[in-house]
Amino acid sequence: MKFLSWLFTVLVTLAAIAFAVKNTQMATIYLWPLGFDVKAPLYLFTLGTLLLGVLLGAVIGWALSLPHRAQAHRLKKDIAGLREKFEALQSSAAPQRRREDRALLPRMKKRLWGGR
């Protein structure tokens, strides 16, 4: 998937460069609510718009991922707490289990070797 992402990025970049090389004529943009106009090469306007869209999409994607990232952080903390509890229970139960295992050994020998 990363390969496809990089391939797409390279193709879009090459297309933008080709567009910029071929569209060097001057263009005028009238900014109506502000009351003035801007003259610049056509490729600056189009590539600027493309860049603005990419940045806006990245900001929106980041903002939409915040709740999921917060939940992942909470779950990591919960898992760490549960892991600590599990290790504490495991360490406290280990000596008792060893005693129980030793008590089972004679009975298992009786069963396996016919009471010898």
Report the range out of 2-11, 93-102, 105-114 with the highest average pLDDT: 2-11
d(CA 31, CA 45): 13
Q: Does position 109 have pLDDT exceeding 70, yes or no?
A: no
Measured between alpha carbons, how far is residue 71 from residues 17, 36, 63, 66 in Å?
41, 47, 14, 9
Average pLDDT of the residues in 32-59: 91
* Residue boundaries of the structural domains of the chain: 2-113
Exposure string over 2-35, b if 16+ CB within 10 A, otherwise e: eeeeeeeeeeeeeeeeeeeeeeeeeeeeeeeeee
| Cβ–Cβ under 8 Å, residues 24 and 45 | no
pTM of this structure: 0.58
